[in-house]
A and B are shown apart, each in its own frame.
Chain A
């Protein structure tokens, strides 16, 4: 399974990550019903919906931490539905986790380097990527500190640095702004944009911070009760009253999302 003759081809033409009509049930509760989601490179797609809507299940299905009962996951036209997470990781799919989940006992630099190593980079290349990413994400000053000692905001950026160290084509961010002080959100928005603009990756952003989602996303898909409720650009979503009822609440629709 390890040596893929087509691997290089996939890397070149890897323009789309696609979940096609995926369904997933847990003990009779339908977490996902025939959800289709497409993510292209160089775009930021927001995935929103109330708690229990199936957002995290969808991310798990896309990244291989869970398998769908029906439907397929495709990476650049190849079916990867049954691939393990680490195999997907090596083929350009990266994710960040809720609650960051850094390697706490390792230093900040080691956190980033090991991600590069995991994706197949050599030791020297891993060091180069770490130098570069720590600099870009303003983490250089902490590089030899244990990751467990970082503040919340720094740890969130470390999660992004770690994902980028794998040189991904797609980055799935699971609530990256949760618990982030409001004042740090604009900085984090810039980080998310740089993943699209400077690294050319496609970003799937799940977050409850509507200001962030509305501001950075090119498209938004809304899930509710495991099914797609609406899709569109931020303005359309904002105007969609179904969404308002399901998620934003009446007052939130009129809130300024600067």
Chain B
């Protein structure tokens, strides 16, 4: 009887993604790109949320899992004939293997998830600031390996010839899959133990929660989902190593913080809201006309605005636009206890 009640919390995130996809289907081809981009962002931010939101530990390293997923899916789905053109130094088995669209996405998740698990084995022993900084180290290492190690990918070249299968449908389906997995995790015994540890580590340990194991599990799952998002990303646009580095790290964290880092609803709202703003500003940088008004803002405006917005949210509403709460329907779920008085 409790399961259906908690499923209500899925309505908000799923509804919003479906709505975004439906609106995206009605607009022009050039505008549709922004909707696809926003939906891929939802996958990335929700993946990040699975670890950061449930554990309360910041990660600057998740874009390395996005990058690993993108590299995996990209390298494996470029037609064999096209690979030598921009990836001349690939290992033999990568050069001679090409997989289909769905397989490449699943493999992207699996490879990134295993990578996250291995990285997490030592890192999840850290906590607080140390953990955050260490994940930053992971980003640097991964980025430089992918950038210069041309046996596993294009290095500095752009991923061209990756089949562009991430249209509106796949971007939306991908986001929904990530959301449902994230939701199932947060309701599971593992997710609940990790959330308790987020609230009070000592009290959680006292009731038998192994914080290390729970964080590691979340990190690996989060890495898997980030890899999947990376796969979607590389199938969406011709990606290059700088596309999965600092800017993306910052913008995904900003989306999570702005939306509200401790709820799935917050992650989805943040990803879509900031994507919308970002799209408008990116257009404005090249000059746009809205309702007869012409805009032309200086280059760099989008990151300036998004950064300022994040700082503002942190100051004015530290738990994000959604307050870090799941979307509640009906008065029942909003029920607060009567003012506490002596019982009996």
Contact = CB atoms under 8 A, between A and B. Distances in A.
A84 B205 contact: yes
Interface in B125-143: none
B203 A97 contact: yes
Interface stretch (A26-34, A102-110, A243-251): A102-110
A101 B202 contact: yes
Contacts of B2: 127
B151 to A, nearest CB: 38
B193 interface: yes
A153 B204 contact: no
A184 B30 CA distance: 68
Contacts of A84: 205, 210
Interface stretch (A39-47, A73-81, A117-125): A117-125
B344 A138 contact: yes
Interface stretch (A5-13, A87-95, A228-236): A87-95
Contacts of A127: 2
A163 B204 CA distance: 11
Contact of A141 (B206, B209, B337): B337
Contacts of B209: 86, 89, 114, 118
Given A106-B195, A127-B2, A86 B210 contact: yes
A65 B207 contact: no
Contacts of A184: 342
Which range holds the interface residue count of chain A?
35 or more
B340 A114 contact: no
A210 to B, nearest CB: 23
A119 B207 contact: yes
A194 interface: no
A66 B335 CA distance: 40
Nearest to B195: A106
Given A144-B335, A149-B337, A150-B337, A103 B342 contact: no
B196 to A, nearest CB: 4
A123 B78 CA distance: 45
B192 interface: yes
Contacts of B207: 86, 89, 94, 114-115, 118-119, 162-163, 165-166
Given A86-B208, A101-B203, A127-B2, A113 B340 contact: no
Contacts of B333: 144
Given A103-B199, A114-B193, A142 B206 contact: no
Contacts of B206: 63, 65, 85-86, 89, 94-95, 97, 163
Contacts of B202: 65, 85, 97, 101
B262 interface: yes
A144 B1 CA distance: 14
Interface of A: 63, 65, 84-87, 89-90, 94-95, 97, 101-106, 110-111, 113-115, 117-120, 122-123, 126-127, 138, 141-142, 144-145, 149-151, 153-154, 162-163, 165-166, 181, 183-184, 187
6 contacts: A86-B211, A89-B205, A118-B207, A153-B342, A183-B342, A184-B342
8 shortest A-B CB distances, which residue pairs?
Answer: A151-B340, A89-B208, A118-B208, A103-B199, A115-B207, A145-B337, A85-B205, A118-B209
